[in-house]
A and B are shown apart, each in its own frame.
Chain A
């Protein structure tokens, strides 16, 4: 495989890979494709058993699904977020299997898939930047490519479904142990209906140099996608460390009606491990997006969440780290853009359980064109988490009169020796600023993109180069659309 030299080269190559257009525009109108199986109906025992049978699952997984179903039926619909009342989960197809033979090589798949895959620039990313990639289309993984680096280092990288079949002991030990089934109604729904996703197992003392990526595509309207990602880094011995950078991306073509994404990520970061998880959420404007993310960090482990939340109709996501082991740390950086009549309800949670733990949360939100951007966060320091430290900083940028931003942080501190701080700012783009910029020949959309770039510049410095490159591109595209208006 081709090795990347300096980080600069990597950035350059990823820029080339990303091409010139926005994802929505890039994929165009939804393509017709054949579906082998479509399931829609009342969410009950029959439907769950049917899905499990299709997947030829072991009994323990079916039982887990049925327990989840029971909790789904019991739990109330969450009422804390705007827009949720419009979702009817039985309106969506709960399981869709496209007619295609999954494999390792993308170019052996049907033409409609190849076209999406190519337009997203994934063949080049696969060839040059990544050590592994898996792509979920509707409810199933279609391409899973494991490259030499992962093989030689004995890192397991498969679809989640295959992991259930091939590595049941590991899956049983960790699946649903990080994000509890009964956490809230939509988490229970996820576990009842989950299908597709990525599984990574990192043996001790193993650092994966090139990132792995999971790409999620929803191909049709009125569809539910419930992919599940599980990352397990084994405990390292003293003096050892392990490292993985996982990137997830998502896309949908232009759909006439809505589709529903209710995905989940569980990370078990063993002792001394470092897990970097980057999400580039660029769903089309027809997607209602729930992204449930949680990590457990053991002794001296580090978990880093980076979320670039650009697309979708509504997004709810609050990546959480439970700092369970002494000296464990987490950083959570989110950049959310609500451009148009869309909602971003994003945030972070840090639960400090052990002493000497540290969390840094940085949130930057931008609302424009009637958008609503909310930061919703929780820092909880349990009694006994002595000497723990947490800092939260939230900045909002509002680009016009129609748009809104809210900051809803919550701190629960039960340990007197802990240090917890919070800062927040709100900037509003004024008419005077726009007139000033336009008098320099810069039109409204361009001025906004420039100001947004400036607003997030500090945060970008903290991110891996490959993330920065993709994120900058996506942001420029998002605001250059506005260009015609000015």
Chain B
């Protein structure tokens, strides 16, 4: 079973951002997507998730089911999770309320806000500990006053609450110190061992010190220009992306 992206092109207005992107993300495998800034990596993650402002052609199949016409929340409920590179602040909404809502939606498909599940809160307290965040974050408003690294950790906890089949992590290693990257790397390895398909978008591949990729893709100017194994990381690190430019 896999997440398949087939001939995906994305434009906003007249501007074409992704051109004919095709790849396959297997369950139980980790794929690294590398490329320079502005190359279309974040757009790819948003397009897979179904961002409403994009014009999209091509197909996205989740375990064989075409999800490319579904609204974002349905894609999420079918098993797609995205950790944002720059998550937005949501004033007034407590982190615990968000986790409670995610968990209730996941289990029942309906959201009854008058129900707070104490088990979710206990679970969330534990998970916060695992990613190195204090329990007091549960009472904080979502992403408000979080440092860059705290946002990355909070994104991972949200994804764990969603328990998706496929995870897209957009720059999970930026803004984190080595210890933080190690924590996230270990979590990713655990998720992979549990059969999740994981796509990690990264600019400078810090996380690959802790995560062994099954596949590496290089994206430039909205296209995937090379696919290979872990050796591609070394190639990029020694030569940069210049070699791919025409």
Contact = CB atoms under 8 A, between A and B. Distances in A.
A443 B72 CA distance: 8
B154 to A, nearest CB: 12
Interface stretch (A102-110, A406-414, A453-461): A453-461
A431 B158 CA distance: 20
A33 interface: no
B73 A476 contact: no
Interface stretch (A34-42, A147-155, A262-270, A432-440): A432-440
A433 B113 contact: no
Contact of B158 (A397, A440, A455, A480): A440
A433 B102 contact: no
B111 interface: yes
Interface stretch (B18-26, B81-89, B127-135, B193-201): B81-89
Contact of A442 (B88, B94, B102): B102
Contacts of B76: 438-441
Interface residues of A, number: 30
B113 A450 contact: yes
Contacts of B112: 476
A460 to B, nearest CB: 12
B97 A436 contact: no
- Secondary structure call for the B interface: mixed
Interface in B179-228: none
Given A451-B93, A453-B97, A439 B72 contact: yes
A480 B110 CA distance: 10
Nearest to A479: B113
B136 interface: no
B53 interface: yes
A449 interface: yes
B88 A436 contact: yes
B77 interface: yes
Contact of A486 (B73, B87, B92, B105): B73
B106 interface: yes
Given A450-B113, A472-B114, A439 B82 contact: yes
Contacts of A449: 111, 113
Nearest to B141: A454
Contacts of B84: 436, 439
A391 interface: no
Interface string A252-264: 0000000000000
A441 B97 contact: no
Contacts of B82: 439
B90 A431 contact: no
A176 B141 CA distance: 47
A435 B51 contact: yes
Interface string A378-421: 00000000000000000001000000000000000000000000
B98 A440 contact: yes
B162 A431 contact: no
Interface in B74-128: 76-77, 81-82, 84, 87-88, 90-94, 97-98, 101-102, 105-106, 111-114
Please indicate which of the listed interface residues B46, B53, B90, B98 has the most CB atoms of chain A within 10 Å of its own CB.
Answer: B90
Contact of A441 (B46, B52, B77, B90): B77
A133 B162 CA distance: 47
Nearest to B45: A439
28 contacts: A397-B92, A427-B91, A433-B90, A436-B84, A436-B88, A438-B71, A438-B72, A438-B73, A439-B72, A440-B76, A440-B105, A441-B77, A442-B105, A442-B111, A443-B71, A446-B101, A446-B105, A446-B111, A450-B98, A450-B101, A451-B90, A451-B93, A454-B90, A454-B94, A454-B97, A476-B112, A486-B71, A486-B73
Given A449-B113, A451-B92, 13 more contacts: A435-B49, A435-B52, A436-B87, A439-B72, A440-B76, A440-B102, A441-B105, A442-B102, A446-B101, A450-B93, A450-B98, A454-B92, A476-B113
Interface of A: 15, 397, 427, 430-433, 435-444, 446, 449-451, 453-455, 457, 472-473, 476, 480, 486
